[in-house]
Amino acid sequence: MARTDEYREALRLAEEALNQADLSALAQRAGAEIIRTDDTAVQLRLAFFNDPVHLRPGNPFIIRNKKQGTEVSLEEKIVLCHYLLQAKGTSPAGQWITFRQIPDGHFYDAAFQQRTRGPFLAFFGDRPDLFRASAAKLAGAPVAAGDAGMVFSVLPRIPVQLILWQGDEELPPESTILFDATIADYLPAEDIAVLSGMLVYRLISMAKTLQG
């Protein structure tokens, strides 16, 4: 319960900051779109794991996945709010880095590995074809890396690469997640770890759907 209370307080503070922010400037830096409704209310729309998400500031502050027709989860709300507040609008550097190379990444590396690499290898380690098929359903694009490499646009300014090396008789499977070198201009390390876990569990869920 304590952790949930911390999340709720983090979300409250982020929503308060967004309610006082210049939404047009935020949208420009974050790659989001401003929507003005008939009652002059302002909403933001952006792609989140390739789904359209609408954020309506105010009281209550509403964040909905328009494709699914539901409110997003508490953790997703925090990541989305922090992304909008922190976005600097920098262009991708085209240089890929590991989580530990992100500022403060080493502090959260254990949680990052637990959320991402462990579950990913346990499920996809010896099934690169299933990884490719699941990634394609989540709008992943292939990259020339490992035995199976895919890149995802998880948020408008945040591309993520997920690479798998299939194991054999001598070596176990291995994987890595890489981020554009500008990612710290958009999210802090703790949120990046959470976001990466979301990607892995979406892939696992999609794979289970494909398997029937």
13 pLDDT exceeds 50? Answer: yes
Report the pLDDT value the prediction gives residue 1, as an integer from 0 to 100: 42
Quote the pLDDT of residue 40: 59
Q: What is the mean pLDDT of residues 117-138?
A: 96
What structural domains and CATH numbers belong to the chain? 2-86 (no CATH), 96-211 (3.30.310)
Q: Give pLDDT, residue 38.
A: 64
Query: For residues 176 and 98, is the Cβ–Cβ distance under 8 A?
Result: yes
Q: Can you give the pTM of this predicted structure? A: 0.93
Q: Which of 5, 212, 33, 189 is nearest to 101 (CA)?
A: 189
Which amino acid is it at 87?
A
Residue type, 21: A
pLDDT in tens, 15-67: 999 999 999 999 999 999 998 876 656 889 999 999 999 999 988 899 999 99
Give the residue among 155, 150, 95, 152 at the shortest CA–CA distance from 124: 150
Mean pLDDT of 127-153: 96
CA distance 161 to 147: 13
